[in-house]
């Protein structure tokens, strides 16, 4: 257990007022995935001014930087990219880039990690080495976490931690749980083909619309009977198209949807299971098909030891800081790091406590900037708790 958080406290007393300005600069100048050049330059300038030696990733965006003693390191990760979404907050620091905004809080994530980096760099000594990971391209697939891993950035890392903004939690609270905190998110695309025909004579052709209907209800239903419901696995169709005329059986059709799960082993087994079920459903219809199964990210599964470290880091902030949190159905490419090393992600409360919270990925999303100092404290405490 950490007895105090003097490193973060002392740095925030001197520099905490700068966090808001940094965050607002990043917020007003958002950049999409793998185009975070100005954001990367901003991060590098802050780290370099603190006497650190940041390394830009080979793609030209993203930064890795080591602090402290050699040997096994604890990694702290923040993502930097924005969303292709017009902002409607009306804030004085609103996005200056049409159709692009930090509606997911990555501006806050980047700011928090800069602050934690400078606080750690100012400390007389650290009990363990630290690797900072400012990651590009979290909002796209394949995500930038894979780019970071491919550079070998997880070599020598013992575990990794991250924070993600949560507008459902009030400022000053941080949510964590053991096990899955996000879900795997895969995409299923089914393209169907039939000779077509007249609706008065379905027996002379293959009924493509009937086949689509069979899959629409059959695939989610069969998955619910083949997979343990405790894995939080759900299949939902998002789009369907086929035909235009009421008296003509169409020749082509398409179904697209997502299948999500909070269980890693289930995620591994999903693609072959979906293919088997779709074949079984469509074989009697005679309709030809092509199934495109696109694997997304694994679920973020917090290992128990890393979660306990996070809990210690959060408790230092105050007696009510530690909060429970539920598993999300959304995906997060932080999970790719957890394929390499153990770690955990927690949710940083960013709601002011007044009015209705605005959810992430919405054009009205904004956050209470008091959360920035809380995030810095947690990140610094994670390093101290990991010794």
Q: Which two tokens stand for residue 70?
A: 């050699």
pLDDT tens column, 166-225: 999 999 999 999 999 999 999 999 999 999 999 999 999 999 999 999 999 999 999 999
Is the confidence at residue 310, as pLDDT, over 50? yes
Pick the CATH number of 6-182+300-385 from 3.40.50.2300, 3.40.630.10, 3.40.190.10, 3.40.50.720: 3.40.630.10
Distance (Å, whole) CA 365 – CA 386: 33
Instruction: Quickly state the pLDDT bin for 1 (edges 50, 70, 90).
Output: very low
- In the predicted model, what is the mean pLDDT of residues 75-82? 98
Q: Strands 184-193, 157-170: parallel, antiparallel or unpaired by DSSP?
A: unpaired
Per-residue burial over 169-192, b if 16 or more Cβ lie within 10 Å, else e, is bbbbbbbbbbebbbbbbbebebeb
What are 93-143's pLDDT values in tens digits? 999 999 999 999 999 999 999 999 999 999 999 999 999 999 999 999 899
- Residue span(s) of the chain under CATH 3.30.70.360 come to 184-294
* pLDDT for res 107: 98
Q: At residue 372, what are phi and psi to the nearest 5 degrees?
A: -65, -45
Coarse DSSP helix, strand, coil percentages of the chain, rounded to the nearest 5 percent: 35, 25, 40
What SS3 class is residue 101?
strand
3-state secondary structure (DSSP) of residue 276: helix
Checking if the pLDDT of 2 tops 60, the result is no
Structure confidence by residue, pLDDT tens digits, 266-303? 999 999 999 999 999 999 999 999 999 999 999 999 99
> Dihedral angle at the C-alpha atoms of 99, 104, 108, 113, nearest 10 degrees?
-120
Pairwise CA distance, residues 349 & 165, whole Å: 6
Contacts of 289 (CB under 8 A, 6+ apart): 190, 191, 192, 193, 211, 278, 282
CATH level 3 topology of 184-294: Alpha-Beta Plaits (3.30.70)
Tokens of 364: 């009205």
Cis peptide before 142 (omega within 30 of 0): yes
Peptide bond into 27 cis (omega under 30): no
User: Residues spanned by CATH 3.40.630.10 within the chain?
Assistant: 6-182+300-385
Is the predicted pLDDT of residue 368 greater than 60, yes or no? yes
Q: What is the largest CA-CA distance in the chain?
A: 84
Give me the chain's average pLDDT, please. Answer: 96
Rounded to the nearest 5°, which phi and psi values hold at 275?
A: -60, -40
Tens of pLDDT, residues 142-182? 999 999 999 999 999 999 999 999 999 999 999 999 999 99
Q: pTM to 2 decimals?
A: 0.93
- pLDDT on residue 4: 53
Residue that has been written with the tokens 């802050």 in this structure: 46
Cα 308 from Cα 63, distance rounded (Å):
28
Contact 291, 188 (CB under 8 A): yes
The terminus-to-terminus CA distance of the chain in angstroms comes to 10
Question: 193: buried, middle or exposed (CB in 10 Å: 19+, 13-18, 0-12)?
Answer: middle
Residue with the two structure tokens 């740095």: 11
């Amino acid at each position: 257990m950490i007895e105090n958080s003097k490193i973060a406290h002392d740095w925030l007393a001197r520099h905490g007022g700068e966090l808001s300005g940094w965050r607002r600069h990043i917020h007003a100048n958002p950049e999409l995935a793998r185009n975070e050049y100005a954001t990367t330059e901003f991060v590098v300038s802050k780290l370099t001014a603190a006497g650190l030696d940041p390394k830009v990733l080979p793609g030209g965006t993203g930064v890795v930087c080591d602090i402290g003693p050699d040997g096994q390191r604890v990694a702290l990760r923040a993502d930097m990219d924005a969303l292709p979404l017009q902002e409607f907050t009306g804030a004085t620091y609103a996005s200056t880039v049409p159709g692009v905004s930090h509606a997911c809080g990555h501006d806050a994530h980047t700011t928090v990690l800069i602050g934690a980096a400078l606080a750690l760099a100012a400390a007389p000594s650290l009990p363990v080495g630290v690797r900072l990971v400012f990651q590009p391209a979290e909002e796209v697939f394949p995500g930038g976490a894979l780019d970071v891993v491919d550079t070998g950035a997880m070599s020598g890392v013992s575990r990794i931690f991250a924070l993600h903004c949560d507008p459902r939690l009030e400022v000053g609270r941080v949510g964590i749980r053991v096990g899955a905190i996000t879900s795997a998110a895969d995409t299923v695309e089914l393209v169907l083909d039939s000779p077509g025909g007249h609706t008065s004579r379905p027996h002379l052709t293959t009924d493509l619309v009937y086949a689509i209907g069979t899959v629409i209800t059959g695939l989610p239903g069969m998955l619910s009977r083949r997979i343990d419901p405790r894995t939080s696995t759900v299949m939902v169709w998002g789009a369907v198209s086929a035909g235009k005329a009421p008296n003509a059986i169409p020749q082509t059709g398409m179904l697209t949807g997502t299948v999500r799960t909070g269980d890693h082993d289930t995620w591994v087994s999903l693609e072959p299971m979906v293919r088997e079920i779709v074949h079984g459903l469509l074989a009697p219809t005679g309709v030809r098909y092509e199934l495109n199964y696109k694997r997304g990210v694994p679920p973020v599964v917090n290992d128990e030891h890393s979660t306990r470290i996070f809990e210690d880091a959060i408790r230092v902030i105050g007696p009510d800081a530690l909060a429970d949190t539920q598993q999300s159905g959304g995906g997060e490419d932080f999970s790719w790091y957890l394929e390499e090393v153990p770690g955990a992600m927690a949710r940083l409360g960013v709601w002011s406590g007044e009015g209705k919270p605005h959810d992430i990925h919405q054009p009205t999303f904004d956050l209470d900037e008091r959360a920035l100092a809380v995030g810095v404290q947690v990140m610094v405490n994670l390093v101290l708790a990991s010794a």
